[in-house]
Structure 1
C-alpha cells in the first residue's frame, strides 16, 4: 500500500466504503469524531489537535474584546489587513509553499526562523504539511483529508478529524515522516517519543515556541499602538484562524464542477482560481495544483501574488538561495496553446 494511503489517522467512519466510494459522514458522526479526537484524557496522543484548537480558544477573548471596546475605523482597517492579507499571505509563504512543497530554500536557519514567525502563530506545521501531501496525491478522491464533496463540516473540522498523522506507524514509516518535515526546522520526536506522544513534534517544545511567539508579538504591537492595537490584531488572528478552515471547501468549488475554460487549466480535480484568495494571499489554487512546487502561483498579469513578492524580495536580500518558478512552463503548456486555439475558433467562426 502506498505510504500516503495510510500516513494519516483514519477517521472512525473511514475514507471509503467497500466499493471504494467516498464516505460522506453525517453531521453527528463528524462532531462525534471531532470531540473524540480532542479528548486528551482518553489518550495523550490527541494533544496536537487539542493544542490546535486551544490556540483558537485563547484568541477568542481578544476578538470579543475587540468587538466590544476597540472597534474604530483604523483598528478595523488594521485588523482587515493583518488577518486577510498579512496572515493569509504568510500561510501561503510558510505552511503551503515552504513547509509542504519546498518551493524555495533559505540560505540559513536565521531567515527560516524569521519567516516562520512573521505573524502570530496559529497552525501547527505538522498538521498542515503532512496532510497536504496527501491532499495533492488524492485530491477530491477518497482519502483526501479535506474532500469538498463530503461537505463543509468535513473540511472545516479536517485539522482534527482527518489531518493528524497515524499513531501506529512503524519505524521506517516514521522516518519517512521526518524526511518530509526536516527542512521546516521543527525538531522531530525520536521514534520512542512518537510512540508515546503520537506526533512528530514534541509538545513541550511546541508550547514553548507558541508562548514565546505570542509574547513577542503582543509586546511589539503594544509598543506600536498600545493595548488597542495589540488586542485588535490578536482578535484579527482569531478571525483568520477560523476563516482559513473554510478555504479548501471553497477552493475546490464546494465539491462541484465550477472550472472555467482559459482560467482553470488543471482538470484532474475540482480546484479553481478565485479572485479573493488570490488577491489577498496568492492562493491561485488551480494554478497551484498544476505546479505545486512552484514558488509563484500567480502566473497571469492580473493574478497578484503577495507570497511570491515576498519570496522574490527575500531572494534579492540573499535570504533565499533558490526558488522554483513555473511561469514559463505555465505559458508554454497551457496559456499559449489555449490562446492559439481561441484564435483559431474565432477565425473559423468568422469564416463561416
Structure 2
C-alpha cells in the first residue's frame, strides 16, 4: 500500500466498513479506542498520546485557579487574547504552514527555534504534521484522520484514535516519515528506537522540552504579572488545546456540504472559509485546501491573516528566507486576473520534502 495510506496506525474499527465506505464507529467504540490508546501500562508505545492529553490534565488546575481565585476582567481579556489569537495564530504559523506544508523557510535555526517557542509547547509536532499530510491527500474520504462525516467525536478524539503514526512501518517508510519532519528541527528516533517506542519523537527529549518550555513561560508570566497572570495564561493555553480539537469538524461543514458560491472556491472537498478562525488565527480553510503550500491563506482584502502578517514581517527583517504566496494565483484562477509579477507555484510534498514521488501515491480505500 502507498506510503500515505499506511503511515497512520489504523483504529480497531478500521477506516472503511464492509462496503468500502467510511466506517462510522459508535461513541462507545470511539471511547474504547481512545482509552485503549492512552493506556501506557498496556503498551508503552502509547506514551505520546498519553503525554499529549496529560498536558491538558495538568493545565486544568491553572484554569480553575484563575476562574475561582484570581479572576478579574483584565485577566479575562488577556487570557482570551492569548488563547484565541496568540495560541491560534501560532498554531497556524508553526504547526500548519511550516511543520506540515513547508510554506516558508527560516534563514537559520535560531529563528526557527524562536518561532517554535513563541507559546507554551502543547501539541507534539509529530501528531499534527504527519497526519495532516494524510488529511490533505484523503480529505473527506475514508482514511482522513479527522473526517467530519464520522461525527464530532470522530474528529475530537482523532489525535489519539487516528493521528499517531503506524507502529509497524518498514525502515524505508519510516525514513520517508522522518523526511516529513526533518525541516522542523525536531530530533527523531533511529529506526531501532522507533521499533521500541512507536514514535518519531523520543520520550525523554519530548518531556524535557515541554518541561523547559513550561518552566520558562511560567517564570516569565509570574515575573511580569504575578501568580494570577501565570494561572490565567496557562489556563487559557489548556482551553485552546481542547478547543482546537473541534476545528476540523467545524471547518469541514460538520460532515455536510456548507460551501458557498463566491466564498468557498475549492470544490475538491467540504472545507469552508469561516470568519472566526480566519480572524483569530488566519485559518481560511477552504482557501488553504485550494493552495495548501501557501504561506498566506487570506486572499481577499477582508480576510485577515495574522499568521501571514508574522511570516511577512519575519521576511522583512531577514528571519524568513523564502515563502510561497498564492494570492496572485488565486485571483488568476478564479477571477482571471493576472497581476504584475510572478505568481507563486504550488509545490507538492515531493518538492518540499524530497520524498520519492511513488511513495506519496494515494489509493482511495
Q: Which runs of 5+ in 1 are unaligned?
A: 338-352
Give deviations 1:309-337, integer Å, cap 9, x for gaps. 00001001101000000000000001448
Residue in structure 2 matched with residue 344 of structure 1 by the alignment = none
Residue in structure 1 matched with residue 264 of structure 2 by the alignment = 264
Residue in structure 2 matched with residue 141 of structure 1 by the alignment = 141
Residue in structure 2 matched with residue 186 of structure 1 by the alignment = 186
- Describe the SS at the equivalent of 2:218: helix
- Asked whether 1:58 is paired with 2:45, we answer no
Flag the structure with higher helix content.
Answer: 1
Give deviations 1:259-299, integer Å, cap 9, x for gaps. 00010011111000000000000000000000000000000
- Asked whether 1:320 is paired with 2:320, we answer yes
- Asked whether 1:74 is paired with 2:74, we answer yes
Count of aligned pairs between the two proteins = 337
Larger Rg: 1
C-alpha separation in 2, matches of 1:207 and 1:153? 27
C-alpha separation in 1, matches of 2:27 and 2:2? 30
C-alpha separation in 1, matches of 2:257 and 2:7? 29
Residue in structure 2 matched with residue 168 of structure 1 by the alignment = 168
Residue in structure 2 matched with residue 311 of structure 1 by the alignment = 311
- Describe the SS at the equivalent of 1:120: coil
Deviation at 1:158, TM superposition (A): 0.2
- Asked whether 1:244 is paired with 2:256, we answer no
C-alpha separation in 2, matches of 1:20 and 1:314? 46
| TM-score, normalised relative to structure 1 | 0.95
- Asked whether 1:232 is paired with 2:232, we answer yes
C-alpha separation in 1, matches of 2:206 and 2:111? 19
- Is the CA contact 1:262–1:335 (under 8 Å) kept in the aligned structure 2? no
C-alpha separation in 1, matches of 2:335 and 2:114? 36
Residue in structure 1 matched with residue 349 of structure 2 by the alignment = none
- Describe the SS at the equivalent of 1:123: coil
Residue in structure 2 matched with residue 88 of structure 1 by the alignment = 88
Residue in structure 1 matched with residue 293 of structure 2 by the alignment = 293
C-alpha separation in 2, matches of 1:201 and 1:122? 14
C-alpha separation in 2, matches of 1:278 and 1:205? 34
Deviation at 1:188, TM superposition (A): 1.1
Q: Which runs of 5+ in 2 are unaligned?
A: 338-365
| TM-score, normalised relative to structure 2 | 0.92
Within-5 A mapping of 1:93-132: 93-132=93-132
C-alpha separation in 2, matches of 1:19 and 1:228? 55
The CA RMSD over aligned residues, in Å, is: 0.7
C-alpha separation in 2, matches of 1:130 and 1:235? 28
